[in-house]
Every structure is written in C-alpha cells, then in structure tokens.
Structure 1
Amino acid sequence: MANNDRWYVGNGRLVKSDNMLPKEKYVMVIHGGAGTILKKNMTPEKEAAYRAALKEALTTGYQAIQAGKSSIDAVEATIRVLEDCPLFNAGKGAVFTHDGRNEMDAAIMNGKTLEAGAVAGVTNIKNPISAARAVMEKSEHVMMTGPGAEQFAKDAGIEIVDPKYFWTKERWDGLQQALKEDSMKSKLDHSYQPAGKLGIENHDNKFGTVGAVALDKAGNLAAATSTGGMTNKKYGRIGDSPIIGAGTYANNKTVAVSCTGWGEFYIRNVVAYDLSALIAYKGLSVEEAGKTVIAKVDAMGGDGGLIALDKDGNAALPFNTDGMYRGTVTADGKIEIHIYKED
C-alpha cells in the first residue's frame, strides 16, 4: 500500500493521502484519531493493542454487513467497540475537561434518507453513538445536548452509567499535565488567550476522535463519529464531531465522511459536507475531494484528517499530521490497518 501513497503540499507541509487501489471495493473505513503519532514514542505492546482494537472494530462492522445488516447498524456497532476501548478518546477513553469531567459528543447519519442524530456534552451515557442514533430514530430532532440529551437517552432505553466509569489514569494524568502547562503559560504571559488555545489536546496525543463509514449490500452509506473532545477544554466547548456537515456526513448520492482533528477548523470549513459537494458539483473523485478539503484546513493552520467512502466503494484517508489510526476492509474481507505517516 505504501507504494500507492500520494503526497501534496499544504501550507508548506507534506500532507498524506492514502491512495486506495481502485480495483478494491471497500465496505468499511474507520479511524481512531490523528495527531503526533510517532513510532519512536510507541511501545511494541501499545502499538499491538491499537492494531488489535482497530481490527476488532473493523471485524465487527464487516460481520454486520456480511449478515445483511444496514450500514447504520454496522457503523454503530463499530463505534461502540471503539467507545468501549480506553485507548481512544471516546466513551471509556474520553479525556477530561478543565473541571475534571468527561464530556462526550457523537453523531450518526443515514445516507439513504439524510436523517441524522447527535448528542453533545453528555457525561453519563456509556455509548454516546447509540444515543445519537436514538435522537435520529426516536425524536424529531437532530441534536440534543447536556442534561436534556442524557434524560432523552435514559427514556429511550440507552445504558446510563456513573460518570466514574469514564475515569482512566492516563487521561487524568493528561489533564494534570495540561493544567501544569496552563499555569506555566499564565506566568509567562498574562495576556488573554482564547479558550480553544488553552484547551489543547496534549500535542503528543491529540485528536483521538473515532469514526466509521460503511457501505452495505443494499448500496446505502452511513457515517458515525464519537469523541471525548479536548483535554482541558473550558466553557462547554463543542467541536465538529456532532455537527452534521462539519465532522460527520453521509449521502447515498456521493459519500460518507467522518473527520478527526482540530474541530474549530473543520466547523469553519464545513469539511464533511464540502467533500460531498466537491464530488456532486465538480465531479471530483473521493480522493481528490478528500485532499482538497484537508488542504483548506491546513491552509488555515488546522490539522487532522478524515475518512471517506463513496457510493461505489472507493475510499480516501487524507491527513496532514504525523499519523492517523486508520483501517479498511474490502467486500471480500481483506483488512488493512495503519498508524504512522510512513505506513
């Protein structure tokens, strides 16, 4: 696969775009976040754990598709696997806010009907992606937030847990480090800093959002994204993941997209919908459209990546960071998993 990789220049940086072999028909693509992911900083044991988790998620989604289930069923099941794994910044592995809370966002979209559902700022829903699906299917709304979303999820029969369920030592230590950096920064510079700049996701391990896109046997696309947000975030900040058209989008006429990265830039560029529009209105391939929208994010100073799967089973996984946890599975069950830029 490495011999088919393409690179292009964005804002003075080389940007990676995995060029999938055109003869392959992909039925599912997933990501586990993008950022400063370097092999030199990864132990063999942790790398193996990431690869195993990504493989389990892909296998779960693929089995759903093979069983004749819908793409919506497949992406929800896949995301639940990743939400239950503490390695990723979603569900069990969600990062902490400035106030020491776990606040999660998720979204799901049906490419056949353009129905969508999302939750944001929830603290006690074990699998936010399932709550997002409930919003889509059991309400007349698209997005619910905070306590209201939590009450709706409970009424809809979604599993509710004690917020302590989401506590992990690694994420807690990450918050303590971020708070320490904040303190040092304030001593050096007393000028006002926007919350988005103070609430950074530890630059060595940021953007741990998870996402999945799928194409089922009936030709229907779906997309799903789930995240724990930003380490040390303040003021109830919400990123692109639960915003339809920014971090999540699916349309049977074009493509299914799930994004990961610095959310503010994805919102401002309406990245997921823009990718679809480039295919619909300009006739670009999914790969061309993918690298175009990431170049826009890059030019504004943002970073991250995305996964996209078009209606014909062509996939693109562009990113402008040092790595992105990512994987694909073809119609015949061939699984590929990659982590680093050089993969």
Structure 2
Amino acid sequence: MPHHPVSFALHGGAGDMPQRDHGYAEHLAALQAIGTQVQSALQDGLPALDAVEMGVRLLEDCEHFNAGRGAVLNTLGEAELDASIMGGDGACGAVAATRRPRNPVTLARALLNDGRHVMLAGAHADAACERLGISMAEPEYFIIEDRQRQLERARAHATVMLDHDEPLGTVGAVARDRHGRLAAATSTGGMTNKAAGRVGDTGVIGAGTWANDQTCAISTTGHGESFIRVNAAAQIHWRMSLGHEPMHAAAELVIQQVVDCGGMGGLIGVDRDGLVCLPMSTLGMFRAWSELDAPVRSAVFR
C-alpha cells in the first residue's frame, strides 16, 4: 500500500467562550500534548481507527473537557455519557446515556469489534462492559466539583446550558493514517441540566460522527439537536460523494444549516487527501491539528 503523510484533528468543544486572561492555557497544553501523541502514533503506523480511539480516550481522561471524567451533569446530578466511533470501511459502534464505562469511546469501539449491534444505551450498555471486557468506574468517578457548581447555576436559572458556555466541551478526533484510511470518534456528557436519558448527536452515527475512506472523516460539537436535524456528519460525506463538493465547502454549508435551525457549534474533518477543515459558527473551538505531517498546532478562538 502507498505510504501517505498523516493528518489528524482533535476538538474539545465549540462555543462563545469568554476571553480569559490565561487564554485557556491548560486546555491548549492538553490538546497540544494529546495531539503530539496522536501524530507520533500515526507516523509510527498506528491505524486511523486506533488513533482516534486513543485521542478521545486521552481527552475523556482530561478533566478540562466535557467527556468521561469531568462530564457535565443532568437534571438528576448524574453524568450520562454518549460516544461513537467509525472507520472508513463503514464499521461503527456507539453508546448512549451510559454511566459506568471508564472510557465510553472504548465501549463504542468494543461494539464495533463485536459486530452484532451498532448502538447500546443506558443500563444495558453499562452491563455490556463486563461481557466485552471494558474497564468500569463508579458513577461518582466522573463527577467533579466544577460541574456540580455549573449544574447549580443552571438550576438557579431553570435552563439547559451548552457545555461551551463554560471553557469545557465535547471531544472528538479524526485521522488519516499512513495507508490513507480514515476514522472518526466523538464523546460527550451532553448539556448541563439536560433531561435524564437525553441523547445528543455524539452518540448518533451520521449526526455527530462519520467516516468513509472515499471522502472524509467528521466529528462534530455543539447543539446536538440541531446537528441531528441536519444529519450533519454524514451529510458532508454525501455532498462530497454525490455533489462532488470539496470537504471545506460542504462543511461550511452544513454548519450554516445548523445555525438556520437554531443551533450553534463546529466540527473537525479530514478528507481522503489528508486536508483538514475546522469550521465553526461560534467565537471559538478548542482544537489541535496537523495536516500532512506538518507540526501540531492548537487554538481556541477563530
């Protein structure tokens, strides 16, 4: 097989983050470090599917982002977690409203490998951890004090808050490996004070995550309901495949559709040629990326 330069992107959520004196230095440092690990692994020959799982696992373990430990809390004060992963050959797995897998993306990957079902939800997804050999944690493991304070503020205002109203957010990864294969993965705790059992785009293949080796790999972040309504991630693939649109143009059109139906957010993408796109409708999106073996870069604002 040909030996391609590698490309990848990571996101840690998009939103209208306030400007802060520290410039979100800890978030950028985490993204830069994780991005460097992902790039190194890809350059050493790690397949794209393994690379996106690895990147999202590291982001789930980082309390600065709304996934895994440090996820936002629902109306009951629980962390309910969604994740999905897809390879460019069409294999995929997803989980929704889970409370026990230490790394939800790895449970999604186990479902992909198992091949029987694409998605499991709630307590039944939690129960599958033991059968599939997935590391589990007590529900309290995922809860941190900052998220409890955030929930209290949301309750006081009787509102549901997007994760990016705070400097934290949904996470995702896309990659093209040495053999030109593509993959994408996404993981989240959703929105603060969301209804128990609510599932956003992150757990929905086609809305929050999509990969096809002939077109692109996409991971989204933002107002999940709006991304579901426009079938955001898969729509970019179909625009490229049927309409022969370049990824950048297709992605910008889809982000505008999200805005037109009342939502906000951004996405990361890599196409079959290794080109990266990072469009957003918001003031910023936590992100790190490298295009065609270039040095890893990270940024928050536009």
CA contact (8 A) 2:76 2:196 kept: no
Counterparts in 2 of 1:26 and 1:305: CA distance versus 1, 3 Å: farther
Match of 2:251 in 1: 290
Equivalent residue letter for 2:17: I
Q: Deviations over 1:111-149 (max 9, x none)?
A: 0x2010001111111100000000110241100011111
Alignment match of 2:75 (pick from 98, 116, 120): 98
Distance in structure 2 (CA, Å) of the matches to 1:156 and 1:142: 14
Equivalent residue letter for 1:30: L
SS class of match (1:241)? helix
Alignment match of 1:35 (pick from 7, 15, 21): 15
Alignment match of 1:117 (pick from 72, 93, 97): 93
Match of 2:299 in 1: 338
TM-score, structure 2 length as denominator?
0.95
CA contact (8 A) 1:126 1:161 kept: yes
Match of 1:231 in 2: 192
Shift of 1:281: 1.0
Match of 1:323 in 2: 284
CA contact (8 A) 2:34 2:58 kept: yes
Shift of 1:155: 1.6
Shift of 1:220: 0.5
Distance in structure 2 (CA, Å) of the matches to 1:301 and 1:207: 21
SS class of match (1:308)? strand
SS class of match (1:121)? strand
Alignment match of 2:113 (pick from 133, 137, 157): 137
Equivalent residue letter for 1:213: V
CA contact (8 A) 1:178 1:202 kept: no
Distance in structure 2 (CA, Å) of the matches to 1:26 and 1:340: 25
Shift of 1:207: 7.3
Distance in structure 1 (CA, Å) of the matches to 2:163 and 2:221: 15
Distance in structure 2 (CA, Å) of the matches to 1:202 and 1:31: 13
Shift of 1:201: 2.3
Match of 1:266 in 2: 227
Query: What stretches of structure 1 move > 4 A for 4+ residues in a row?
Result: none
Q: Deviations over 1:186-206 (max 9, x none)?
A: xxxxxxxxxxxx433266227
- The gaps in structure 2 that reach 5 residues or longer are none
Counterparts in 2 of 1:48 and 1:271: CA distance versus 1, 3 Å: same
Equivalent residue letter for 1:90: A
TM-score, structure 1 length as denominator?
0.84
Alignment match of 1:309 (pick from 262, 266, 270): 270
Distance in structure 2 (CA, Å) of the matches to 1:327 and 1:266: 22
SS class of match (1:277)? helix
Aligned length: 298
Distance in structure 2 (CA, Å) of the matches to 1:153 and 1:336: 35
Equivalent residue letter for 2:54: A
Question: Identity of paired residues, percent?
Answer: 41
Distance in structure 1 (CA, Å) of the matches to 2:164 and 2:48: 33
Shift of 1:329: 1.6
1:86 and 2:63 aligned? yes
Q: Deviations over 1:288-312 (max 9, x none)?
A: 0110100111111110010110000
CA contact (8 A) 2:6 2:177 kept: no
CA contact (8 A) 1:26 1:328 kept: no
CA contact (8 A) 2:160 2:193 kept: yes
CA contact (8 A) 1:34 1:321 kept: yes
Distance in structure 2 (CA, Å) of the matches to 1:279 and 1:207: 31
Distance in structure 1 (CA, Å) of the matches to 2:292 and 2:239: 26
SS class of match (2:274)? coil
Distance in structure 2 (CA, Å) of the matches to 1:275 and 1:284: 9
**RMSD of aligned alpha carbons:** 1.4
Alignment match of 2:133 (pick from 157, 162, 171): 157
Match of 1:3 in 2: none
Alignment match of 1:257 (pick from 218, 224, 244): 218
